[in-house]
Structures are given as C-alpha cells and as structure tokens.
C-alpha cells in the first residue's frame, strides 16, 4: 500500500476505502474524531461510521459513486450524521475524491465535524425568522394604528362639537350630560394617545420616524398643550398647572412631535402627581431652548430612572397605573431625533422634574471622511 504519511498531518479525518467499501486507511484525526483505534477501523466497511438509519442508503450512494467517481469538494460535499464509537452522533460534512493505485480504485473521504457550525447556522436562521416575525408584527401594528386613528379622530371631533353646543346651551343641557361628555372626551383623548404610541412604536422599530420641521415657539406650544388640562378638572387629576414662559422660545422643530412630547410629560405628571401642583417652565438662550415639567408626586427611585425611558418599562405596578409604558420611550426618541436631550431629576416622595433641552436649529450633518 502507498505511504500516506502526509495525511497524518491533515486537519480533517481522512478515510480511504476500496471498491467494496472496506476501510484500508484512516489517519490520526479519524481516530481522534471517531474514538476508534486504527486497527479497529481497517478492514471494516465505512458504514460503521454512520448511524444505522443511514447505512442502507449510503451503500446505494457508494455504489453509484463507484460507477462515476468524481471529486466532491467539502463545500459541495455530503452533509449527514456520523457515529462515534461510544454511540454519539455528530453533524458531519464529507468530501469525496477518487484515487487509483496500481489499477485499483479507491475512494478518499475527508470528514469534518460541523456540529458547532450547524448550531450557529440554526441560531442565525431562528434569529432571521424572529426578526421577520417582529417586522411583520410591527407592520401590522402600523397598519392597524393608521386605521384606528381616523375613527378615533372623528369621534373626538364629534364629542368636541357636542361639548361646545352644551356649553352654549347650558340652560337646556342637564349638568349630568355635560359631565358625561367631558368624561367621554377625556377617555377618547386617552385612546387617541394609546393609538399614537402604538403607531410611533412601529415607526421607530421600522426606522420611519421623520421630522417635519418648521418655526415653532415652544412657549406658545406649552400653553396650548396645558389648556385642555386646565379646562377639564378630570383631565388634570385635581392638580393646578402653572406655566412660566415669559419669552418666546422659537426654534426649528416638528410641532406635532413636540406637542406629543409635552403631552406625554404632562400626562405623566398628572398621573403620578397625586393631585399636587404641577409647574411647567420654558426658557432658552442663544442656541438652545428648555422646557421642564415638574410635579410633587410619588417620584422615581434612582435605580429606575434610566430604565423608565425604555420600551414597556414602568417604575410602578401596572395594576395601579394604566398605560403601555411607551410614553417616555417615544418622547425620548423624538427629543433625540431633534438633536436634544431629556433628563430626569427625582426621588421617591419628592416628585419628578423632566427637562427637555433642544437646539434651536437642526444639528449639522456629520461630515464624511475624505477618501
């Protein structure tokens, strides 16, 4: 038999079999991979290295290969399971090459354990499937939120119209009806906010949150946001709301988005403010404007202050306070999209103060490095 000493240093297991499928040579890596001594392999059929369920089909494939022997590289080779001496199976990749020595024909099999690679591939496949499922879910939420916005907005408009009519005809409308209209309007605003949060969550997940910048006075906007809370005692949770905005605070902002941020922060202050006074202050300097929303409520522990800006996170039990846990997450992303920041100063029992700081003008785009 030819000297195969060089094959002892090949990193793959190498098995050479004759036309009857009997092993005539196995290198050192084969004994390490399969757990057999060389003497236990030589003279046995190669099917001993395969689980029983593969042996019959392998014999047929081996016969076909003997009739038309062509090289099959590892990358294009056979993918199957191999069997160690102790009975353990492992995923294997096998390449085949024909070999002729003194008119005798042999098949050379290079065998590689690809268990870890298979595990990584399976994890990658599961990850891709999970990402696709998440994307499909986000698309569904986006579509559903869009569809819900129209009827909710129409409902809000009708309620506002009825409430104005009731205010103009107080002598003809029982107080109970006016109170019920106020409750319905307040609950509809809550539904609209939840729908908007779901829509924005899907936009953020899909990378579709866009800003429509225009000249906006943050002082004026703060007063507009506060107005419905001041008019409706049920909406402010019993808290008095003071706005201190002595000067215009104008910048290039997305008006709708900043209204959403302020509404979320104010609703947050009302929810956790325990009916105590709420203070809103708007100020600025040459380059930036700031708006703070402060309450005197339950406060937030230091350990929770970073976490509550994440999706679906709360610092309080869900059963005691409603909401999706998305308001602060979305508000922080909107502020960051403006190139700004949002900070929280709080302590348990000492209230909370959220401060939004925004550059008056959009940040300059990052310069590309020269080639």
As a whole-number percent, the residues of the chain with pLDDT over 70 amount to: 85
The answer to whether position 234 is within a domain reads: yes
Domain range for 79: 5-113
* String of DSSP letters for 129-158: HHHHHHHHHHHHHHHHHHHHHHHHHHHHHH
| Residue 287 CB neighbours (<10 A) | 10
Structure tokens at 168: 């103009």
pLDDT of residue 251: 95
Give the C-alpha separation, 260 to 105, whole Å: 78
**CATH number (domain holding residue 25):** 3.30.450.20
How would you classify residue 15: left for phi > 0, otherwise alpha for psi between -120 and 50, otherwise beta? beta
Does residue 354 share a domain with residue 221?
A: yes
Whether the Cβ atoms of residue 97 and residue 15 lie closer than 8 Å to each other: no
Q: 226 or 175: which carries more pLDDT confidence? A: 226
- pLDDT tens digit sequence for 253-284: 999 889 989 998 998 898 888 889 999 999 99
The answer to whether position 244 is within a domain reads: yes
pLDDT of residue 79: 65
The answer to whether position 355 is within a domain reads: yes
Sign of CA dihedral 237, 239, 240, 241: negative
Domain total in the chain:
3
As a residue count, the chain comes to 371
Does residue 135 share a domain with residue 97?
A: no
Does residue 42 share a domain with residue 146?
A: no
The vertex-209 CA angle with 370 and 315, nearest 5°, equals 115
**CATH number (domain holding residue 125):** 1.10.287.130
Whether the Cβ atoms of residue 231 and residue 186 lie closer than 8 Å to each other: no
pLDDT of residue 320: 46
Residue 230: pLDDT band by 50, 70, 90 thresholds?
confident
Does residue 151 share a domain with residue 109?
A: no
Neighbour order of strands in the sheet with 23-26: 23-26, 13-18, 104-113, 89-101, 78-83
Helix axes 327-337, 175-206, angle to 10 degrees: 60
pLDDT of residue 267: 87
Q: Is the pLDDT of residue 371 over 90?
A: no
Does residue 221 share a domain with residue 301?
A: yes
Does residue 333 share a domain with residue 263?
A: yes
Whether the Cβ atoms of residue 114 and residue 91 lie closer than 8 Å to each other: yes
Whether the Cβ atoms of residue 307 and residue 315 lie closer than 8 Å to each other: yes
The answer to whether position 371 is within a domain reads: no
179: enclosing H helix or E strand: helix 175-206
Structure tokens at 237: 């949770």
Give the C-alpha separation, 298 to 349, whole Å: 5
Give the C-alpha separation, 209 to 314, whole Å: 23
Structure tokens at 113: 């354990």
């Amino acid at each position: 038999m030819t000297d195969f000493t060089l094959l002892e240093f090949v990193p793959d297991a190498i098995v050479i079999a004759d036309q009857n499928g009997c092993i005539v040579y196995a290198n050192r890596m084969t004994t390490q991979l399969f757990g057999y001594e060389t003497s236990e392999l030589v003279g046995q059929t190669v099917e001993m290295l395969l689980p029983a369920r593969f042996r019959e089909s392998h014999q047929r494939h081996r016969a076909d290969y003997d009739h038309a022997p062509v090289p099959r590289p590892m990358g294009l080779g056979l993918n199957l399971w191999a069997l160690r001496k102790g009975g353990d199976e492992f995923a294997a990749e096998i390449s085949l090459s024909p070999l002729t020595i003194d008119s005798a024909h042999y098949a050379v099999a290079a065998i590689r354990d690809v268990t870890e690679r298979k595990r990584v591939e399976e994890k990658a496949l599961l990850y891709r499937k999970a990402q696709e499922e998440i994307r499909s879910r986000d698309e569904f939420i986006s579509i559903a939120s869009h569809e819900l916005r129209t009827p909710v907005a129409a409902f809000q408009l009708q309620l506002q119209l009825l409430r104005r009519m009731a205010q103009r005809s107080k002598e003809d409308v029982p107080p109970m009806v006016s109170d019920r209209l106020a409750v319905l309007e307040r609950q509809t605003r809550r539904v609209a906010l939840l729908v908007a949060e779901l829509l924005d969550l899907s936009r953020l997940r899909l990378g579709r949150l866009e800003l429509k910048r225009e000249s906006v006075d943050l002082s004026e906007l703060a007063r507009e946001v506060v107005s419905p809370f001041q008019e409706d005692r049920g909406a402010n949770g019993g808290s008095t709301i003071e706005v201190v905005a002595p000067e215009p605070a104008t910048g290039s902002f997305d008006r709708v988005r900043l209204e959403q941020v302020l509404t979320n922060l104010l609703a947050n202050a009302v929810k956790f403010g325990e009916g105590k006074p709420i203070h809103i202050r708007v100020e600025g300097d040459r380059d930036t404007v700031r708006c703070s929303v402060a309450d005197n409520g339950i406060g937030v522990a230091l350990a929770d202050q970073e976490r509550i800006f994440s999706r679906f996170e709360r610092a309080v039990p869900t059963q005691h306070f409603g909401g999706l846990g998305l308001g602060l997450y979305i508000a922080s992303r909107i502020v960051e999209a403006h190139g700004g920041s949002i900070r929280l100063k709080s302590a348990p029992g000492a209230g909370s103060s959220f401060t939004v700081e925004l550059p008056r003008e959009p940040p300059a785009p990052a310069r590309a490095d020269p080639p």
